[in-house]
Amino acid sequence: MSRNARRVFGGVTLVLLAITAVLALWVSPADKEQGDAMRLLYLHVPTAWLAYLAFFVTALASALWLWPRTRSTTWDLLAGASAEVGVLFTGLMLMLGSLWGRPIWGTWWEWDARLTTTAVLFFLYLGYLALRRTADTSEQRGKRCAIAALIAFADVPIVHFSVNWWQTLHQTGTVFNPKLDVQIHGTMAVTLLLSVLSFTMLYVCLTLSRLRLAELEEGREQRELELAIAERIAAEHPEPAVTV
């Protein structure tokens, strides 16, 4: 994506986020049972969706790196960039869920199946990001991290289906539930849909920006490595002195 295209895309994203904020705070009515606490779900739901999306992109990019025909440093860097954004949104999801749970459940945290598996997901990808810092070369990093990303992604469907597989305090999906019975309508539904769309665009902006920075960092590290090799060769094989 060109620089001008990124600027236009970023501007549209900001406008949609602003419209979402207006709808969520002033236009959309309060819920009959949850009151104004329900407005937190306009943030909580899209952050949950973006966690799934970001980690799916990480897993897909990792698989493409592992396949010899499509192996490219870009896939490895995209996997890392998407994982960083995913960890950010997963942390926000847990925080927003805690803020919503205090007035609704009467507690900040419960060792509920959905909450516990989400916390595990958060720490799995924190470990993945830490692993990206340990490899000596890009080849070693790509292999180790690609395998780790695919293993960590196994927790994503567990998180999603946990409310159906076990009896949990967390409610089932408002839109995506086993019966596909949409439980939100009118202005609330429009606000929720717009929030998911605008946050998805925000994910794209953040991931592309982080990928661009990672590519610059990769190029700098490569230049530093080449310089270090050249200096080592020069030290081991000095040029003979020229005498007159």
Region 37-47 average pLDDT: 92
Of 16, 25, 44, residue with least CA distance to 187? 25
Least-confidence region, from 61-65, 82-86, 195-199, 222-226:
222-226
DSSP secondary structure letters along 67-129: SGGG--HHHHHHHHHHHHHHHHHHHHHHHHHHHHHHHHHSSS----HHHHHHHHHHHHHHHHH
Residue 42 domain-assigned (yes or no) = yes
Residue 241 domain-assigned (yes or no) = no
Residue numbers of the domain that contains 47 = 3-215
Residue 200 domain-assigned (yes or no) = yes
- Distance between CA 36 and CA 214 in Å, rounded? 40
Q: Which pLDDT score is estimated for 231?
A: 58
- Distance between CA 149 and CA 64 in Å, rounded? 12
Average pLDDT, rounded, for the chain: 87
Of residues 30 and 153, the one with the higher pLDDT is: 153
CATH code of 45's domain: 1.20.120
Tens digit of each residue's pLDDT (9 = 90 or more) over 54-63 = 999 999 999 9
Residue 229 domain-assigned (yes or no) = no
Q: Which pLDDT score is estimated for 244?
A: 47
Residue 234 domain-assigned (yes or no) = no
Of 15, 27, 8, residue with least CA distance to 198? 15
Residue 131 domain-assigned (yes or no) = yes
Tens digit of each residue's pLDDT (9 = 90 or more) over 126-174 = 999 999 988 668 888 899 999 999 999 999 999 999 988 887 877 776 6
Least-confidence region, from 47-51, 77-81, 159-163, 171-175:
171-175
Q: Which pLDDT score is estimated for 58?
A: 98
What is the total count of domains within the chain?
Answer: 1
Least-confidence region, from 101-115, 198-212, 230-244:
230-244
Residue 240 domain-assigned (yes or no) = no
Residue 226 domain-assigned (yes or no) = no
